[in-house]
Homo-oligomer: A and B are copies of this chain.
Amino acid sequence: MYLHVQRLINDIEADEPDPAAANALQEGLGGQFGEMRTMMQYLFQSINFRGPKGKPYRDLLQGIGTEEISHVELIGTTIARLLDGSPRYNGKKSDPLDKPGAGGATPLESALDQGNIHHYLVAAQGALPVDSAGNPWSGSYVYNSGNLVLDLLYNLMLESTGRLQKCRIYEMTANKTARSTISYLIVRDQAHENAYARALETLGVNWASVLPIPKTNAEKFPEVKKLVDLGLQSKQYTFDLTASSEAGKIFQGMSPSKDGTELDATEQAPGGVPSVIAEERYEEFSPGLDTDLLALIQATADLEMAEMQPPLYAPVPATTASKRAG
Candidates B173, B206, B213, B271; contact of A112 at CB < 8 Å: B173
Minimal Cβ-Cβ distance residue in B for A273: B1
Given contacts A145-B161, A271-B312, A316-B313, contact A279 B52 (CB under 8 A): yes
CB neighbours of A43 from chain B (8 A): 69, 72-73, 76
The 0/1 profile, CB within 8 Å of B marked 1, for residues 223-261 of chain A is 000000000000000111111111011101000000000
Given contacts A80-B48, A150-B213, contact A305 B140 (CB under 8 A): no
Q: Complex: how many Å from CA A113 to CA B172?
A: 10
* Structural contact, B149 and A108, CB atoms closer than 8 A: no
CB neighbours of A220 from chain B (8 A): 98-103
Is residue A93 within 8 Å, beta carbon to beta carbon, of the partner chain?
no
Q: Complex: how many Å from CA A20 to CA B122?
A: 17
Min Cβ gap A12→B in Å is: 12
* Structural contact, B137 and A241, CB atoms closer than 8 A: no
The 0/1 profile, CB within 8 Å of B marked 1, for residues 182-224 of chain A is 0000000000000000001011111111100111110011100
Which residues of chain A in 142-196 are interfacial with respect to chain B, using CB atoms and an 8 Å cutoff? 142, 144-150, 153-154, 156-157, 160-161, 164-165, 167-174
CB neighbours of A102 from chain B (8 A): 220
* Structural contact, A113 and B146, CB atoms closer than 8 A: no
CB neighbours of A270 from chain B (8 A): 1
* Structural contact, B6 and A3, CB atoms closer than 8 A: no
* Structural contact, B300 and A146, CB atoms closer than 8 A: no
Minimal Cβ-Cβ distance residue in B for A137: B139
* Structural contact, B324 and A310, CB atoms closer than 8 A: yes
Q: Complex: how many Å from CA A13 to CA B193?
A: 38
Is residue A16 within 8 Å, beta carbon to beta carbon, of the partner chain?
no
Candidates B130, B205, B246; contact of A305 at CB < 8 Å: B246
Given contacts A21-B112, A277-B51, A316-B312, contact A164 B145 (CB under 8 A): yes
Minimal Cβ-Cβ distance residue in B for A122: B165
Min Cβ gap A214→B in Å is: 4
Q: Complex: how many Å from CA A49 to CA B172?
A: 23
The 0/1 profile, CB within 8 Å of B marked 1, for residues 254-298 of chain A is 000000000011111111100011111101111111101110111
Known A-B contacts: A103-B222, A146-B284. Give 5 more (CB < 8 A).
Answer: A153-B157, A202-B299, A215-B289, A250-B300, A266-B309
* 14 contacting pairs across A/B (C-beta < 8 A): A5-B242, A51-B297, A52-B276, A53-B294, A54-B277, A54-B301, A97-B215, A104-B174, A108-B171, A113-B115, A147-B214, A150-B213, A205-B208, A311-B320
